[in-house]
Amino acid sequence: MNHIPEIDWTRVDALIELAINEDLDGAGDVTTLAVVPADKRARAVLRCKQQDMVVAGQEVAERVFARLDPLATYQVLKPDGCCCAKGEIIAEVTGSAQSLLTAERTALNFLQRLCGIATVSARYAAALKDSATVVLDTRKTTPGFRNLEKYAVAVGGATNHRIGLFDRAMIKDNHRELAAMEGPGGIARSVARVRHAYPDLEIEVEADRLEEVREAADAGADYILLDNMTDEMMAEAVKINAGRARLEASGGITLERLPAIGKIGVDFVSAGALTHSVKAADISMDIVPMETEE
């Protein structure tokens, strides 16, 4: 089963606070304050408005509503990870009418973003369902939202890559360029330095050319990232590597390419598209009659 990372609620609550303050700016929701009586209670439904959406972020949306009305009740009808069809209700929320309207856009912004990521991640994972190749995300995330976005990736069925700069050493192109300025053997020298400085960390080397694949494998890298290689180059990289390191295809990865890449023999495919350019899911919030009024 795919590992779902825990949500860091300290950071998420700070994001919620920032988002609400951004919307209210000290003056409050002037339209709602003027139009809706303070003692009015209301019920709303959150509805999927697109086909085949994967839900993610229900608890985040719940916390947004609770921030403005601690007595609000949020009923999840489609838990995170569920696939829902157009028109299905994913949650109901009841509470202060003013609070529901004030929280609406902030709650939907979080929910739509996370559902969009989960939905795309599910499509990428499904494209490799007949392969042993695993889909990974990247660090191309919205600043401050990485924990939430990687959570949504995992909920959708893809797998998290390293979380940040601290949990795996990755010797990328600019590291290689700087190492090369010291003379030949830059990749091997860089791998040795990381092993010495951080012996418990795994090491990944980004390779643009097949000669770099060979040098990284010879140096004992744990992972080799095959950057922007054609399918033919990746197939040759598999032969050169000969099972020594785990191979990750990255760069220029599209949904359409995945089935072919899955047959090459690489271990992973990483795609920034899971997070950096995802279209928000289409979700609406509609006020409906209170249950006692139906």
List active site positions: 105, 140, 172, 206, 227
DSSP E strand boundaries for 158-229: 169-171, 203-207, 223-227
**Distance linking the first and last C-alpha atoms of the chain:** 42
- Burial letters 66-92, b for 16+ CB under 10 A, else e: bbbbeebebebebebbbbbeeeeebbb
Dihedral in degrees, nearest 10, Cα atoms 188, 209, 223, 154: 150
Return the SS3 of 96: strand
Question: What are the Cα distances from residue 126, in Å, to 30, 87, 119?
Answer: 46, 23, 11
Give dist(CA 135, CA 137) in Å, integer. 7
Q: Return d(Cα 60, Cα 93) in angstroms, integer.
A: 13
d(CA 91, CA 132): 35
9-24 vs 146-156: helix axis angle to the nearest 10?
A: 110
Which token pair is 173?
A: 């192109």
Residues constituting the chain: 294
Show the CA angle centred on residue 32, arms to residues 28 and 34, nearest 5°.
Answer: 95
Using DSSP's 3-state secondary structure scheme, residue 195 falls into helix
CA 288 to chain centre: 32
